[in-house]
Amino acid sequence: MTAPTSGDEPKPWRVEGGPPKRSRRRPWVQLVVMLLVLLAVNWIVTSVLLRPEPRVAVSYTFFVTQAQKANIEEITSTGDTIEGTFREKAAYTPLGEKKSEQVDRFTTERPTFAADNLFALLQAHGVAVNAKPPDAPAPVWQQLLLGFGPALLIIGLLVWFFRRAAAGAAGGIGGFGRSRAKLFSPDSGPRTTFADVAGIEEVEQEVTEIVDFLRDPERYRKLGARIPHGVLLSGPPGTGKTLLARAVAGEAKVPFFSMSASEFIEMIVGVGASRVRDLFEQAKKVAPAIVFIDELDAIGRARGGAQSLGGNDEREQTLNQILTEMDGFTGSEGVVVLAATNRAEILDQALLRPGRFDRLVTVSPPDVAGREQILAVHTRGVPVDPDVDLKKIAATTPGMVGADLRNLVNEAALLAARRRHETVTTADFGDALEKILLGTVRGIMLTPEEKERTAFHEAGHALLGMLTPGADPVRKISIIPRGQALGVTFQSPDTDRYGYSSAYLRGRITGALGGRAAEEVVFGEVTTGAESDLDQVSNIARQMVGRWGMSEAIGPVTVLPAPGTESPLGLDGVAPATRELVDSEVRAIVDDCYSDALRLLREHRARLDRLAQALLAAETLDERAAYEAAGL
């Protein structure tokens, strides 16, 4: 092989077919040619459109006849030539022709020998005689505007579009492929910090290493440690996953790119992958930085499973690009990916392997101490009355997450403002909690019979809750219609529960059937008022049998999918005989619990009557009044 001469440039790669031929015509020459062509076409089209409609030449005799009929609207005379418009179209037959035509705009010639008093005739019939030619051309500025304006507008739009396309060349035509992530820079104003996050201290410890690494990466690199490429925050909605991610960025004082996973997907195939590339390129330019992807399950669903039946090329391309980008990290870029989801079980396993999302951090609902801390954070800017006990409020809100508690504080403040209080009182918090848990009060009037039946229905729920060992204490009973219910019975545990025994669950079923049982004991018939109770009962019993192994006939196996993960075609691998067995076991549990409910209410009929009468008198009973009325 001959060595290249000094004038030859070394080629880094070989191109089949030789280099592409470049056009001799420069881009600006093409633009000028296109501009001239557009202007010429615009001028020709405008000239044709603005050309006045031709006038029909009529005889002078016909003109005078129409003038005598007062059918002439206006004329313009230049010498012996008269041009004008008829008020209504007139049928004119030219000399020597048989076919007439409808004439609107006309022109005629006045003979020089005519001795008629034409001006007097026209004045007598109110004809306007103009001095300006009717077909005079438009002013020059109008001709220029109509002749060149549309072409210039089109050229301007094309230039704007091409500039936008050039700016988004890395992301696709017109910038469709550019990332839509919101950037929060360290100096963009007040930042969220760990002081704004409460109730999830164990999760804060998991992400503190990321903050330390971004602040002082050299300390970790000296020991050969690598920062996790990605951290996946998983937990129920409202537990503070997004807030925690923003707090990490705020504490580290680095740029924070925030984007929802659904924003990657567009109708145009390939845009999602392009946006992923653009997002990571932007983050690397300002590294160290944090990229936060919210609701990751929108694009991270497992590929090839029953849930992705039918496929989605755009979603899978986007997911593949995310996998590629995260796999390309070496740890020295200073880019950390945080993601949040409340459905970690359906994510693709390629996302969860080490090297991509190295850590899976579960953000659980807070316990009573955590709820108290969250309430303290959300009441910082709220004038709370000194008698408000946040610890007591936290104890009455089991299962609530940070978003629920924030909503509770806001509802209490709204009630206080509506009542014109200077501070938010305990009563405001109590009423706000009732509104959230029990529903808004409905302004409907119940008949005495319906009110009595509702009182016994709720008394049945409450009394069984008081009599069943280990059941949650009854906090409030009301027969004031709220939401979709005519009455409510509110029970909550003294402490947070994390596991449920078979006896406790059976007690829950028995208590839920108490309303229907009370109607049967007192009135001898049942109504539709137990619809939501039966839904709750069926769900608990089915989970006991099919998922929690609390049936001897089924055994300690799971035969039903978790709620929300059922196959759309029912392809869950459960045999029909097993399904029938599950149904029979569910029916046996419910029948057994309903028999217990009837037995207990018949044995304590006097307590049931006293509790129902107290409800009819007061409509709402708190915990102390309810237990006193039942004699317990």
Active-site amino acid positions: 458
Alpha carbons 415 and 420: distance in angstroms, whole number: 9
What single-letter DSSP state applies at residue 303?
Answer: T
Sign of CA dihedral 510, 514, 517, 522: positive
The two three-digit tokens of residue 237, written as one number: 């909605």
Judge contact between 494 and 511, C-beta under 8 A. no
Residues in the chain, overall count: 632
The two three-digit tokens of residue 293, written as one number: 């992807």
- Residue appearing with tokens 């539709």: 528
SS (H, E, C) 525-570: CCCHHHHHHHHHHHHHHHHHHHCCCCCCCCCCCCCCCCCCCCCCCC
Can you spell out the DSSP letters for 312-375?
-HHHHHHHHHHHHHHHT--S-S-EEEEEEES-GGGB-HHHHSTTTS-EEEE-PPP-HHHHHHHH
142-160 burial, b at 16+ Cβ within 10 Å, e below that, comes to: eeeebbeebbeeeeeeeee
Alpha carbons 288 and 210: distance in angstroms, whole number: 11
What single-letter DSSP state applies at residue 107?
Answer: E
The two three-digit tokens of residue 256, written as one number: 């924070």
The two three-digit tokens of residue 626, written as one number: 């309810």
Cβ within 8 Å of residue 363, ≥6 positions away? 200, 203, 233, 234, 235, 239, 240, 241, 244
* Of residues 373, 349, 361, 358, the one with CA closest to residue 326: 358
Contacts 24+ apart (CB under 8 A), 542-545: 542/582, 542/586, 544/502, 544/505, 544/589, 545/582, 545/585, 545/586, 545/589
Residue 87, H or E segment: strand 81-92
Alpha carbons 492 and 472: distance in angstroms, whole number: 5
